[in-house]
Amino acid sequence: MAGVVVTANPEVDGVAGAGAQREWPSSGSAYWALFVIVLATFLTFFDAVTFGMLAERIKRDFGLTDSQLGFLAGPASIICYFFVGIPLARLADIYPRKYVLAGGTALVGVIISLGGLAQSFGQFVGSRVFLAAGGSAHAPSSYSLLADAFPPKKLTRAFALLQFGFIGGTTLGPLIGGMLVMATAGWGATQLGPLTILGWQWILIIMGAPSLLVALLFLTVKEPVRMAPAADAPQVVTGGGFWRSVATFMGLDAFRAINAKPRVYYPLFGALALSAVETFGLQFWRVPFMIRTFGWNEGQIGAALGATILVASLSGLLLGGIFVEWLAKRYKDANVRAATCCAAGTTVCTIAAILMPTAWGSLILFGLSGMFGIAGAVPQNAAVQRVAPNDMRGQVTAFYLFMFTFFGAMGSYVVGRVQDVLIGDPAQLWKALLITASVLMPLATFLMFRAIKPYREEVERLEALGR
């Protein structure tokens, strides 16, 4: 794109003109922003995995059914996401994203610690509800910031490096979480005034502190200049009074932008939703599955999962990067094409893992499933950032991730309900996992396949406009 170099002040959240030559942030500031985002992402997944390690303890000490336990781990965390997450994503479109990220990360840390003080099932539900509200703007703000910090040719690399937050959380979560669960197993209850703190609850109380430090680090990030939207892109309506502003914050304009290109967005959204149900359901119930099916304890599971997930995740990053770059030399739709192939690999390995007769055989195949999942996540996320309108990228991403968050949070509950209603026998948990995997994963792969052609056509259109 020809034109003058844009020198808008990023600290006041400037916007680069649509016809201007883009002045990208320095590599140092871009990678520092990525580093802090990786730390925050690590803490998010570390909390989720460690909470899963506590599943059997929570069920025993609070007297929960599998359905209640699944609800606590999943739907409880997304009850107010739509009413909070979408408006917060709008803040990421109009205010410096580093401040949105700092505030959300600090709030998450406080709420995780408060969850360790829960005295009843209802209070636990409340803590997970507000935890999701505090963290709901993290991904939209992070993705939007990275898309303006890295040129398009380097964006997929940035999203690949972002996966180290997921890898760290899901690797160290089982390892450290399992060690902490076993270390606190012999602790008696602590009486703090009217509060009775069980031994394992101290894990949650302590886990909130690192988030406060990461929140301060976000304040050191340099806010990148935003690129103005393409001339023919859907625009956010300005003016119109109070209720029109409310509608904008609730995502009306972003929804219209998505609905304007249903063949591009709907299959991607649907595939993400279906795979998220299975992925999060399996992630939560994997520890109970190993306990009930093979008789392992949390310490054994944590050590084995940590090593398995680490190898699988690093292999997935390597595989995904090489595969996408190889496809990109041949196809405009490389992102979605790669995600489709990886979804097929995840489907086969997940179903096979559940059917394995030995614990290690199951873990190895779960690892291969995770490898394909990581390999496919990078191009899938990059695909949405590539086609989303610039001035509403945060909310478009929030709608996309709502499918991941909402349906992913339903995963633990879906498996729990299948287990309670269809299976009944707690020792036969593997059957519930098999049913959900066999139904959801093939459908997700099919929808991803359907997105290849329309995504390619949209990329070609944007390239013709010089975007």
DSSP calls for 422-447: II--GGGHHHHHHHHHHHHHHHHHHH
User: Which pLDDT score is estimated for 340?
Assistant: 94
Asked if residues 229 and 147 have their Cβ atoms less than 8 Å apart, the reply is no
The C-alpha atoms of residue 105 and residue 38 are separated, in whole angstroms, by 12
Contacting residues for 6 by C-beta, under 8 A, at least 6 apart: 14, 16, 17, 20, 21, 22, 23, 225
Phi, psi of 195 (to 5 degrees): -95, 135
> What does pLDDT average to in each consecutive run of 10 residues of the chain (467 residues)?
34 45 79 93 83 77 76 64 67 81 87 80 72 70 85 77 81 77 78 79 83 92 74 54 63 76 89 86 84 84 78 83 84 90 94 92 90 86 79 72 76 84 86 92 94 90 76
Burial of 241 (0-12, 13-18, 19+ CB in 10 A): exposed
Helices (H), 150-196: 152-184
Looking at residue 80, what is its pLDDT? Answer: 61
Q: What was the pLDDT predicted at 12?
A: 41
Partner residues linked to 290 by β-bridges: none
Residue 251 has what pLDDT? 64
Count CA within 13 A, CB hemisphere, residue 216: 4
The single-letter DSSP state of residue 230 is P
pLDDT on residue 372: 92
Q: What is the structure's pLDDT at 13?
A: 44
pLDDT at 452: 93
